[in-house]
Amino acid sequence: MKMNVSGTGLKSILSILCGFLLQGQVWSQSTVMQSEEGDTAGEAKARVLVVPFHQIRYYFSDCDKQIAERNKMQLPEIRQSFMLGMDYATENRLDKEHEPLNLAQMRDSIDKAYFAQFYDNVSYAYEAPTRSLTFKQKGGKKKKSPAKIGKKTGGKGVKLGDAGNYTTLESADEQYMRLKWTKPEFLQALATTYELDYIITINQFEIKTNYEKCIDRELGKYARTIKIHYNIFRPDGELLQGEVVSAHYNSTKDDINAIIQDNFGVLADFVMQSLPKK
């Protein structure tokens, strides 16, 4: 999945990643601060491997052209930015009791080999989601961009203004894209090499425009939905969580940094809350 990135696109991607680093103090406590405070000293953290969605096979969008034009990027760079954005958002949301391992970002030769082989050793199929998730908003720290965060099942009566971002588990989503381990020996090798406690796989990414839900026809504002399909596994392949979760925003926000920073963190929150502690 190697791709050429233009100068403009590279700057945009770097800007996105810098945004995650700058927001790290708001989104999660840093490992360094935890160590200095002593509240995690001597405690073993659960090692969690994060694997992103395949940028070609399981990426679906009807608005990449508009987003690319707005950000002066090539279409493949949009996919790459969303993959990296979701990757880093998930990693950032791992709390102090977890040690994230980002398979797509690790640079040793063995890491690259595992990542290159990963998608050939798994398969995907639609199944009913686990639906055991219940999101609870935590008070205290707030994001710079206000958002409505909570569980909504029908989508009725929801207004999408300029700051109308919110996340939901949609009752209409009766299926999600599940990852299946087709070669147990590959999973065993992966788990042993990295001494894993859990594996998070982002299986499918969707971003779609709802042209029937017009917020402002004159300005061309429409509701958009970002969906991620994910699994949480134990290292022996036991499925702990399988779900599809949605984030909603309006189409005037085609700045790719704003899309990622306003939505991907709250999507990752849904994933993180169903991750067991060690």
| Maximum distance among all Cα pairs of the chain, rounded to whole angstroms | 59
What is the spatial distance between Cα 124 and Cα 179, in angstroms, rounded to a whole number? 5
pLDDT of res. 2: 47
pLDDT digits 0-9 by tens, 107-137: 899 999 999 999 999 999 999 998 744 443 3
Mean pLDDT of the chain: 77
Closest CA to 21 of 88, 87, 79, 80: 88
* DSSP E strands, 58-191: 59-61, 98-102, 122-127, 166-168, 176-181
pLDDT of res. 83: 93
pLDDT digits 0-9 by tens, 228-262: 999 999 999 999 999 999 998 888 778 999 999 88
Q: C-alpha dihedral over 160, 224, 92, 240, to 10 degrees?
A: 110
Q: Using the 8-state DSSP alphabet, how is residue 53 labeled?
A: P
What is the spatial distance between Cα 143 and Cα 154, in angstroms, rounded to a whole number? 25
CATH of span 44-273? 3.40.50.10610
pLDDT digits 0-9 by tens, 28-75: 433 333 444 444 455 788 999 999 999 999 999 999 999 999 999 999
pLDDT of res. 35: 40
Closest CA to 230 of 240, 242, 247, 239: 242
Closest CA to 95 of 5, 175, 17, 31: 31
- pLDDT for 174 beyond 80: yes
